[in-house]
Amino acid sequence: MAATRRIHKKVKPEYSFLALDFETANTSRNSACALGLVKVVGNKIIYNEAFLIRPPTRFFEFSYLHNITWEDVKNEPDFGELWLSIEHHFDNIDFIVAHNASFDRSVLYACCDHHEIQLPRPDILCTMNIARSLWNIYPTKLPDVCHHFKIGLNHHDALSDTLACAQIMLRAIKDLRFRPF
């Protein structure tokens, strides 16, 4: 009787997800003034864009971080108006990812609540926590994780932060050590 040989293939899971990053005008969670979105389908970045957002008030206290002022956003759509053009990106994805997801989740939920928008359904995963648990990286602020992986970053630029977050998530998937579900 011939010996049976088992062939084990490494199956690379392919996910579709949306990476996001918010910048806020002030400490109010509904004061989003910028949003970066990166859509990944089948582990490939297929879309990336940044948006300026007009927050509910003119009060800006974090301009020193992101260089966005009321003058930059006063003629931009508010989150409710922007949502009409971006909500489709939240469909047909496995999950959402953000670095320090508790912050971005709270901003997303506060903006949705303020504009009476139904919350997106996908789970929001955190690349900060993933960096700690998979690679034991400390500290785990976005610049630290990007430095570790040699990912270019213009920190507090919403699109740059989001692209970095997406690349960290793709690395976690590639390492075959991370399964979001």
1 falls within a domain: no
97 falls within a domain: yes
Q: What residues contact residue 104 under an 8 Å CB cut-off, 6+ apart? A: 20, 21, 22, 98, 124
Sheet holding 95-98, edge to edge: 44-52, 32-41, 17-24, 95-98, 124-126
Tens digits of per-residue pLDDT, 122-157?
Answer: 999 999 999 999 999 999 999 999 999 999 999 999
Q: Domain range for residue 121?
A: 17-174
147 falls within a domain: yes
181 falls within a domain: no
Number of domains comprising the chain:
1
Distance CA 121, CA 95 (A): 9
94 falls within a domain: yes
- The CATH number given to whatever domain includes residue 125 is 3.30.420.10
Distance CA 158, CA 36 (A): 5
Helix ranges (H only) for the chain are 63-66, 70-73, 79-86, 101-114, 127-135, 142-149, 158-174
45 falls within a domain: yes
* Model pTM score: 0.91
153 falls within a domain: yes
Tens digits of per-residue pLDDT, 95-104?
Answer: 999 999 999 9
